[in-house]
Structure 1
């Protein structure tokens, strides 16, 4: 028979779950904490609280909850899988892979744990092991298109591929919207491998249209924000705020459009022994969302006190430095930080900024053909893509006009691929470091890479991505015309 205290804790836990399901997060958090106050090792309450923390952007707090949970209930595979997921969200893929492995040991038929382990191994560059894990997930749940999509994405598809045949035969009526989207992108990748570009583009169009249908994205909102940022961070504004911020020269920001070559540039830099590649970090966006630069950005920055800029820079560097305490430089490769260059310049005047450019048509098509994990919904529509690219291009023109010489280095992807020796040396010199030959063997550097380029940056340079959009010229003609029409505006 259950003890009265145990029954009471279960009732309190169920009450917390009910509040959580109703979206009453503050009350649910208090209820979970109430359960844990009397029963510190209540695994379900710890798990529920960790989910709430993830939903409210407190991922590190979620890690703490789940560490306590697995310590208290070490034989629960769901808890190990949950810990792996939040560690992965923090780019701790080595430990995440170990957590997923533990989950699969405890529950060999846990398909999601096998899939998650494969994803962590993929980001770590362990392609063969990742394929094995994805294969196990497919064997356990053959009707999940995401599992087969992962397998198709890790290998070049050959005629007669069994996973392609299974996806082609899969009835879409029973799939959720996210599963249908994953299916379209998986088929597109497979048809591209097979050289059937007409069918590949048709699947991309369907997948993006499906994704766009469930999105509330507004291109007008982004373009208005870009214009407001340029108007706010004028040359006079930057000049009047000179001398503020932290003196640290640790950060190196790698910015540009998604799919422009930023992952390759970061991998080259991170191959230097004095550089830590931190990947895509949302530190600055999270500061903005937390109101650190005023109630609204960019409108609120004019009211900031001088000390607020210094605190902003120091807090950013402290957060980044925690990832690698002893290196000279740390990269932050969040491409969309391109719209925060003015903020970076004031808060961190000694930070390096590397802007990576790639052929506009190749860049936009690569965005269109990538199923991003995050909400880059401007990529779902070719007309939106052209307008977004134009907004990005105009904003970068503004930064060139208002920044002092030497603050930002421009790297052209095509030139980097054609002459990596010269371009890599230019990169390292810009960062104020001595040259190291390891930068030319960037593909041998073992580090997590949590982007769509996770496998590409672990291969020697190849030129097949240069001019890739030409294969799709008939279907991209409207996009090409829009991009060319905007070049002179």
Structure 2
């Protein structure tokens, strides 16, 4: 936001405090007119102006205009908590049910909105909703117990003002060292800023200082899982269980961590035990389904997802999980039900997004590309508006890799000399799971999963005087070797004893320079797919986390271009060190490509690699069911029925349509 824009907003707020409501509305309309003419105006301005305009209308008792303005605001920013809180005030006098729903939505998107919780408390008391009232009062008690500065910082964090929140939190910690709530809050801010190493240190310290604080332990375990440090997450979960052996949430946390390390039977046993105590736990049914799907038991996984819907028929994750098996087919009756749910006012934003993607898959399977694309586009649009993703920043980050790593900076005698890892990189939905399954069928290769360890090492190098990747060239040989050894040590828990193992984190394509500095003998395979197929397949996929570029056709096309450009650079500075495998060529001539891949990895040919679909192993990616079948080509050209809707993508990839 420019200084001039800040002055305009401040003037509007001053008029509002002086009850010059009409002046606020006129001033807002002037800014909005300019905003719509100049799309370079910041989104923050649009949010602030529409909000102030709505408040001014409500204070003028023009509730209808206030509601209309708020609905426009929410269409742009569907997770803006204060817009829902204001909507609650607008409905208080005329529609208590809508008011309650609006306040509830506000607390979902910003749990620090004490005034919204207090309004809900009044309503729950009046309606004798004892269970909801108890949870509400619990949150009110927690918020009122927080020091004023931490409550303010928590509010700022949930409003997306992360740097301001960090500043307030650090100031508080300067005079209140080791305050547990402040340490946890600063860690959460760090996670949102993707400063994962700092967040991990804070939470580890908090757990050490306050071993009986389960909120801190749970936050630490969740971060470890997010970073792919599942063995450590299991260790934390087991310690939590010692303090609270009967806790439902602790048992669920342990099961989630066990899934992460591939201990599926133990996890499934825990989920089933919890469901035997109480079947009305839809999130546990979905978690059980994920574990069963990773194990290869798709039929039982589908049953688990369907049971989740029985207990919560608007649970979007259950519908998307069914669609994400890639083999499930929705009935016409279920599609009709999902359409009603996705348009229902009571459906939560996250559920709406999940159901939109499921409907897209359902109508695509029904050969109705018009309706399928409408729901894919709606789900992507809603999801993108909850993210703060800037493709231009990502393009610059990939360009920085090219600047940091030149041909002369690589020395095969430096770094850890182990040749164990085989990295499979590329874009999501490019066929990397198939390549992993082929290689994991070899007797000398362990399949693992999408390991986060290279991303973690890159993150640990990011917050220094000279930031990553520009600082890698200055690292000593001793440091490079230690980083390579650290990677091998951290990934050992995922191996089963074979000489080689696979790391199938697609995003590692960004960090090939780092990989080759710390592990010069590692093999790197680039999974490549037809750009239109790859990009559209990514657009149709609702990812668990990350891959923010995939929720816009323009973004995903630009990301693909940046990926290709960076891969060209890696090939030029590391000639012969990367094998590009085209997905379509694998489908056309499996045996030739398998022999080519094995030769590159220095492995002898084994027939089992051709019968990869018979290999039983844990697979947790969306392609898990597809690679448990023999080669088929139905995935090729899936974008073509949607061609008339993909001009935005084709314009970015003009030579590849």
TM-score by length of 1: 0.88
Query: Quick one: distance in 1 between partners of 2:328 and 2:232?
Result: 41
- Is the Cα–Cα contact under 8 Å of residues 77 and 107 in structure 1 kept in the other structure? no
Specify the alignment match of 2:364 in structure 1. Answer: 192
Deviates more, 1:47-56 or 1:410-419: 47-56
Q: Does 1:346 align with 2:501?
A: no
What's the offset of the Cα at 1:160? Answer: 3.9
Specify the alignment match of 2:537 in structure 1. Answer: 366
- Is the Cα–Cα contact under 8 Å of residues 382 and 479 in structure 1 kept in the other structure? yes
Q: Does 1:51 align with 2:219?
A: yes
Q: Structure 1, residues 319-378: CA drift from partner, whole Å, max 9, x if none?
A: 223322521110001111111111112211111111111101101001111001122111
Give secondary structure in 2 for the equivalent of 1:411.
strand
Q: Does 1:230 align with 2:376?
A: no
Q: Structure 1, residues 369-390: CA drift from partner, whole Å, max 9, x if none?
A: 1001122111111111111111
Specify the alignment match of 2:181 in structure 1. Answer: 19
Specify the alignment match of 1:120 in structure 2. Answer: 291
Query: Quick one: distance in 2 between partners of 1:135 and 1:472?
Result: 29
- Is the Cα–Cα contact under 8 Å of residues 360 and 375 in structure 2 kept in the other structure? yes
Show the 5 A alignment for 1:474-489: 474-484=644-654
- Is the Cα–Cα contact under 8 Å of residues 145 and 183 in structure 1 kept in the other structure? yes
What's the offset of the Cα at 1:61? Answer: 4.0
Show the 5 A alignment for 1:388-407: 388-405=559-576, 407=577
Aligned residues between the structures: 465
Displaced runs of 4 or more, over 6 A: 14-18, 26-31
Specify the alignment match of 1:420 in structure 2. Answer: 590
Q: Structure 1, residues 20-76: CA drift from partner, whole Å, max 9, x if none?
A: 79715588876765664xxxxx6xx44651333423756544422322344565444
Specify the alignment match of 1:271 in structure 2. Answer: 441
Query: Quick one: distance in 2 between partners of 1:245 and 1:160?
Result: 56
Q: Structure 1, residues 364-423: CA drift from partner, whole Å, max 9, x if none?
A: 001111001122111111111111111111111111111132x21111100101111111
- Relative to structure 1, the CA distance from residue 260 to residue 393 in structure 2 (aligned partners, 3 Å threshold; closer, same or farther) is same
- Relative to structure 1, the CA distance from residue 68 to residue 158 in structure 2 (aligned partners, 3 Å threshold; closer, same or farther) is closer
Specify the alignment match of 1:446 in structure 2. Answer: 616
The one of 426, 449, 453 equivalent to 1:283 is: 453
Query: Quick one: distance in 1 between partners of 2:179 and 2:409?
Result: 49
Q: Which has the larger radius of gyration?
A: 2
Deviates more, 1:212-221 or 1:64-73: 64-73
Give secondary structure in 1 for the equivalent of 2:639.
helix
Q: Does 1:167 align with 2:167?
A: no
Deviates more, 1:214-223 or 1:315-324: 315-324
- Relative to structure 1, the CA distance from residue 321 to residue 35 in structure 2 (aligned partners, 3 Å threshold; closer, same or farther) is closer
Could you tell me which runs of 5 or more consecutive residues in structure 2 were left unpaired when the two chains were aligned: 1-141, 147-177, 188-200
- Is the Cα–Cα contact under 8 Å of residues 293 and 304 in structure 1 kept in the other structure? no
- Relative to structure 1, the CA distance from residue 370 to residue 289 in structure 2 (aligned partners, 3 Å threshold; closer, same or farther) is same
Specify the alignment match of 2:309 in structure 1. Answer: 138
The one of 58, 69, 78 equivalent to 2:249 is: 78
The one of 449, 460, 466 equivalent to 2:630 is: 460
Q: Structure 1, residues 227-263: CA drift from partner, whole Å, max 9, x if none?
A: 111121111222xx34101111100000111111001
With a CA cutoff of 8 Å and minimum separation of 6, indicate the structure with the bigger relative contact order: 1
Query: Quick one: distance in 2 between partners of 1:433 and 1:27?
Result: 44
Specify the alignment match of 2:382 in structure 1. Answer: 210
What value does the CA root-mean-square deviation take over the aligned residues?
Answer: 2.7
Specify the alignment match of 2:36 in structure 1. Answer: none
